[in-house]
């Protein structure tokens, strides 16, 4: 008669107690089987909005466009006013006459083939070359020259004056001058000349102030 071992039967029913032999449902509790971290927390997986890209350059580009706009609008105003006044004078005043005669400031209508204020009329071609260099330089480097709003307005005046007189010289070989200060040493000039000389004086004045300002510390 065979004896029955209740303990052995129970051990066989439970199965061998091997290390690591826990049921598959307990894998989450075993070391090394933890859930993988979320990709959002992994290094290098930061949101795209925080990565460096073209968005960081937008403020600088907008500032450059704004400075160009200020400079070009100023130049366009100078060109428009200069050509309007030249047209009015050439339409209503006889060439080589003054209105009103004998006044300290007169409208003295002349044709000028020289540079600003009628200087060096024999170097008309050289004036066009210099004007082209000035225009190109301002268009390329003007917005990056600094100096604030006043500098941009001054550069726009120089640009507009150079363009306006340059267009007249190319189209007709001369410019119309008509502003005559009889009590001044300068020659007869026009609005474009005023823009060129006035803009240059402002820039020279600003550069002089910057050099004279004491260094911090």
Give me the helices (H) in the chain, please: 6-14, 58-92, 124-141, 148-172, 191-212
Q: Please give the residue range of the domain that contains residue 123.
A: 70-96+107-185+197-212
Query: What's residue 146's pLDDT?
Result: 78
Predicted local distance difference test score (pLDDT) of residue 97 = 94
Does some domain include residue 35? no
Reduced to 3 states (helix: H, G, I; strand: E, B; else coil), residue 100 is coil
Total of domains in the chain: 1
Q: Please give the pLDDT value at position 132.
A: 94
Indicate whether 102 belongs to any domain. no
| Active site amino acids | 177, 193
188 within 8 A of 118, measured Cβ to Cβ: yes
Are 71 and 175 in contact by the 8 Å Cβ rule? The answer is no
| Residue at 24 is within a domain | no
Distance CA 46, CA 38 (A): 12
Terminal CA-CA length for the chain: 111
- Whether residue 192 is contained in a domain is answered as no
Per-residue pLDDT of the chain (217 residues; tens, 9 = 90+): 444 454 444 444 444 444 444 444 444 444 444 444 444 444 545 444 454 555 556 677 788 899 999 999 999 999 999 999 999 999 999 999 999 988 999 999 999 886 655 566 666 778 888 899 999 999 999 988 877 999 999 999 999 999 999 999 899 989 999 999 988 766 889 999 999 999 999 999 998 876 665 555 4
């Amino acid at each position: 008669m065979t004896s029955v071992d209740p303990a052995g039967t129970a051990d066989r029913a439970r199965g061998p107690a091997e290390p690591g032999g826990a049921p598959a449902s307990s894998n989450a509790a075993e070391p090394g089987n933890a859930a993988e971290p979320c990709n959002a927390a992994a290094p290098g997986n930061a949101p795209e909005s925080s990565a460096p890209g073209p968005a960081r350059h937008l403020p600088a580009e907008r500032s450059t466009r704004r400075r160009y706009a200020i400079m070009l609008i100023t130049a366009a105003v100078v060109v428009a006013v200069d050509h309007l006044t030249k047209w009015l004078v050439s339409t209503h005043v006889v060439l080589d006459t003054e209105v009103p005669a004998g006044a300290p400031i007169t409208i003295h209508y002349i044709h000028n083939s020289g540079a600003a204020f009628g200087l060096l009329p024999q170097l008309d071609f050289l004036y066009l070359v210099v004007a082209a260099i000035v225009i190109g330089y301002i268009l390329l480097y003007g917005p990056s020259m600094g100096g604030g709003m006043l500098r941009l307005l001054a550069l726009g005046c120089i640009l507009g004056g150079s363009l306006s007189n340059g267009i007249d010289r190319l189209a007709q070989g001369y410019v119309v001058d008509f502003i005559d200060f009889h009590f001044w040493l300068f020659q007869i000039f026009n609005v474009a000349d005023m823009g060129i000389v006035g803009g240059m004086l402002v820039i020279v004045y600003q550069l002089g102030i910057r050099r004279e300002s004491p260094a911090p510390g």
